[in-house]
Structure 1
Amino acid sequence: MKHVSKLRFLPPLATALALLASLWAMPAQAIRIKEVAAVQGVRTNQLTGYGLVIGLDGTGDQSTQMPYTNQSLNNYLQQLGISLPPGQRLQPKNIAAVLVTAQLPAFAQPGQAIDVTVSSIGNAKSLRGGTLISAPLKGVDGQIYALAQGNLLVGGAGASAGGSSVTINHLSAGRIPGGGQVERSIATPLNIGETLDLGLTAADFQTARQVAQAINQAKGAGTARALDGRRVRVKAPVDADERIAFLADIEELSLQGSAPAAKVVVNARTGSVVINQAVSLGACAVAHGNLSVSISSTPQVSQPNPLSTGGQTVVTEQASIQISQDKGALIKIDASPQLTDVVKALNALGATPQDLVAILQAIKAAGALNAELEVI
């Protein structure tokens, strides 16, 4: 039997870029302060813990390869007053060692429920149908802030038989909605001092000025002032009830969205390219050619000579690799001041997403791409 595999690139980005161009061509809409800024100090806190998932259908950790799973089970049974005879080792297949993570929201109080995420840290095949037993969740200070327990929701499915297996989505991680219960609250510095700072989600001097101007127009001159491109300091009432009402009012104030800085974001792993409306191109010329790699593999059977001793029949693979490259013509790209013109110019190259990444980097190096190129 002959196996042939070809390495080919994805089709051009014409449809995706054209869609983005049509969206960016829409007029800018007014945005609220709550969508571009948040009160500094009002934040979530990360919690993490270790636990066991039980009740799996034979898809748990292999205890001989994961000794900490057995150790954890033994420790848990001892807390329940159950001791195993000396030298006795458990080899269950229906438990798995997991790490439990959660976000403790700001202002969370004891007794409130939070969502938790459960992820396998062993070689369990699936956590589907499992139940997490009580697991303490700790903060970076080592203190317990929540307890997690409940039945897992795993958004996937899998089946195996005769050495073959099929898996849909991810089976080694799941989620428990409301599976964590807050045991300790964290003080939030909201009602301390006569002022508070609003932190912008993205550093921008124009946005910081607009936020300060909008607050001053609504609450009086001198109420707010921009400290830098990220922070706006606001004078707020000292009384807690009045401060909450004050923040509720300024969060709803409208701003006129400003044009963003020109930026091209490239994902080098997937070949995705996103271009915002401020990007423009200078006149340049680009030569581009496609590269195709073809790999073929043919099984070959090697048999020993007749009447030979100790010989064995061996199956080997004979591989053949061919590389072909299309001729690339030199294409002139005119200056493109608008996003639609940029999209048309790039689509005219007929480049695949992976090739487009390299072309954009070269155009940026040549000084013809008037934008910041960010590779993620």
Structure 2
Amino acid sequence: MRAFMRTFWRAALIGTIAFAPQVSSAEVRIKDIANFEGVRENHLIGYGLVVGLLGTGDKLNSSPFTRESIRGMLERLGVANLEGSDLKTKNTAAVMVTAKLPPFARRGSPIDITVSSLGDATSLRGGTLLITPLTGADGAIYAVAQGAVATSGYRVEGNAATVVEGVPTIAKIENGAIVEKEIDFNLFQLDSIRIALRDPDFTTADRMRDAINARLGPKAAEVLDSGTVEVWVDGKANVADTIMAVENLTLTPDSVARVVVDEKSGTIVMGADVRIAQVAISQGGLTVRVQENYQVSQPGPVSYGGGTAIVTGAPIQIGGSTVVVPETEIDIEERDGSFTILRGDVSLQELVNGLNAIGVGARQTIAILQAIKAAGALHADLEII
């Protein structure tokens, strides 16, 4: 059977099945699989107003926060006596502004922002964001945003039809915010650098330690846990130089055998280390198709919807109505199941070939993988998304 399955070495499953690359032969840089402590982005958020819209802003009756924001803004700008006034503008929209503060961003540096509608505005196209403070998780203001928004989508509305392309209620402003406060972090205060693996694994952490020690000297790095490696910095060494030397070192990361299944699209991704114990697979069954057809029964032309007529002195009951008569067709198709035996310690390629041998598609493969996992024969993590 093993020789038979190898004849299908280049066959592909019906559907979409992706093969993960051979992890054992991939050399990657440390900077591509790990993050350095302190060298990261910080999220910012703010609330503001977009003005200048062509009648596509919030409806103030259904968006009271927009109405109160407009009133408060105008009062701060010196426009008084607005209490009790009936605002009916359609050119303003309340928005949430988000941004990412890059690591080591200095005061005065520009950053990109994203503007998203908060109310019932239909489009932000052509609007201008008014000055909006952006705060961090600690509540402090780190940047201030303002500028003309640029949307990639549009909305065209008529009396009987509406055309929407993309999402016109989300916009971006390139370099739309200016950093006003820096993150208080100094590399030169560090005695050591901690490297956090994005996919924690003890084997990968051990290989990273060996690569660093080979470059910086023995006992320069140690493994703290499956996701953290600590690198000690010499008192006279430059921390930035140490990071630059470490982040470009290459190693071979290890990974857990995993099968990822996307049931919505029928996509299956299998890792190279997936193994299957000896198991017999059968595919086949009963298919029942039920089709409903509807026929219209039309009465003759002398029908008048029912009643009694007198013809030559004798009463005759005449009449009729149009009715729908359902007709059901049932088709039953039965296929004999066929068995394919996968022997012990089957590799990924042999698994695919074995499934091809019994002619299953991607969605049948998903059910088979779930059954193999339930039987305890799939030596890998089965993740369904």
Q: TM-score if structure 1 supplies the norm length?
A: 0.80
1:210 Cα deviation after fit = 1.0
Q: Within 5 A, what are the aligned runs for 1:97-176?
A: 97-176=94-173
2:25 to 15, 19, 28: 28
Structure 1 pair 190–86 and aligned structure 2 pair: CA distance change class (3 A): closer
Q: Within 5 A, what are the aligned runs for 1:300-319?
A: none
Write the deviation string for residues 40-61 of structure 1: whole angstroms up to 9, x where unpaired.
2322211111111112222211
> For residue 258 of structure 2, what is the amino acid of its counterpart?
K
Write the deviation string for residues 61-104 of structure 1: whole angstroms up to 9, x where unpaired.
11111111111111111111113555321112221111111111
**Does 50-59 or 271-280 show the bigger shift?**
271-280
1:242 to 221, 231, 238: 238
The question of whether the paired residues in 2 share the 8 Å contact of 1:114 and 1:182 is answered with yes
Matched, 1:375 2:349: no
Counterpart for residue 311 of structure 1: none
1:208 Cα deviation after fit = 0.7
Matched, 1:59 2:56: yes
Matched, 1:222 2:231: no
Counterpart for residue 179 of structure 1: 176
1:295 Cα deviation after fit = 8.9
> For residue 16 of structure 2, what is the amino acid of its counterpart?
A
Counterpart for residue 16 of structure 1: 16
1:268 Cα deviation after fit = 4.6
Write the deviation string for residues 167-211 of structure 1: whole angstroms up to 9, x where unpaired.
222222121121111111112253334222111111111111111
The question of whether the paired residues in 1 share the 8 Å contact of 2:23 and 2:253 is answered with no
Q: Tell me the SS of whatever aligns to 2:99.
A: strand
The question of whether the paired residues in 2 share the 8 Å contact of 1:288 and 1:349 is answered with no
Question: Separation in 2 of the partners of 1:263 and 1:254?
Answer: 24
1:274 to 251, 269, 272: 269
> For residue 350 of structure 2, what is the amino acid of its counterpart?
D
Write the deviation string for residues 15-35 of structure 1: whole angstroms up to 9, x where unpaired.
632xx33x6269723211111
Counterpart for residue 260 of structure 2: 265
> For residue 67 of structure 1, what is the amino acid of its counterpart?
P
Matched, 1:232 2:229: yes
Matched, 1:365 2:374: yes
Q: Which has the larger radius of gyration?
A: 2
Q: Tell me the SS of whatever aligns to 1:41.
A: coil
> For residue 251 of structure 1, what is the amino acid of its counterpart?
E
Question: Separation in 2 of the partners of 1:270 and 1:167?
Answer: 25
Q: Within 5 A, what are the aligned runs for 1:65-84?
A: 65-84=62-81
**Does 339-348 or 285-294 show the bigger shift?**
285-294
Question: Separation in 1 of the partners of 2:172 and 2:290?
Answer: 42
Matched, 1:49 2:46: yes
Q: TM-score if structure 2 supplies the norm length?
A: 0.78
Question: Separation in 2 of the partners of 1:369 and 1:347?
Answer: 18
Counterpart for residue 349 of structure 2: 340
The question of whether the paired residues in 2 share the 8 Å contact of 1:153 and 1:175 is answered with yes
**Does 29-38 or 341-350 show the bigger shift?**
341-350
Q: Tell me the SS of whatever aligns to 1:226.
A: strand
The question of whether the paired residues in 2 share the 8 Å contact of 1:59 and 1:124 is answered with yes
Question: Separation in 1 of the partners of 2:205 and 2:351?
Answer: 30
Aligned residues: 344
Question: Separation in 2 of the partners of 1:129 and 1:346?
Answer: 55
Q: Tell me the SS of whatever aligns to 1:191.
A: helix
Question: Separation in 2 of the partners of 1:272 and 1:247?
Answer: 39
- CA RMSD, Structure 1 to Structure 2 (Å): 3.3
The question of whether the paired residues in 2 share the 8 Å contact of 1:63 and 1:69 is answered with yes
Q: Tell me the SS of whatever aligns to 1:60.
A: coil
1:231 Cα deviation after fit = 1.0
1:250 Cα deviation after fit = 1.4
Question: Separation in 1 of the partners of 2:128 and 2:174?
Answer: 13
1:321 Cα deviation after fit = 11
Q: Where does the alignment leave 5 or more consecutive residues of structure 2 unmatched?
A: 1-11, 296-304, 306-324
Q: Tell me the SS of whatever aligns to 2:273.
A: coil
Q: Tell me the SS of whatever aligns to 1:76.
A: helix
Matched, 1:330 2:337: yes
Counterpart for residue 196 of structure 1: 193
The question of whether the paired residues in 1 share the 8 Å contact of 2:23 and 2:272 is answered with no
Structure 1 pair 373–39 and aligned structure 2 pair: CA distance change class (3 A): same
Structure 1 pair 249–323 and aligned structure 2 pair: CA distance change class (3 A): farther
Q: Tell me the SS of whatever aligns to 1:249.
A: helix
The question of whether the paired residues in 1 share the 8 Å contact of 2:289 and 2:330 is answered with yes
Q: Tell me the SS of whatever aligns to 2:188.
A: coil
> For residue 347 of structure 2, what is the amino acid of its counterpart?
Q
1:333 Cα deviation after fit = 3.9
1:107 Cα deviation after fit = 0.8
Question: Separation in 2 of the partners of 1:32 and 1:204?
Answer: 16
Structure 1 pair 263–221 and aligned structure 2 pair: CA distance change class (3 A): same
Question: Separation in 2 of the partners of 1:206 and 1:355?
Answer: 35
Percent of matched pairs sharing the same residue: 37
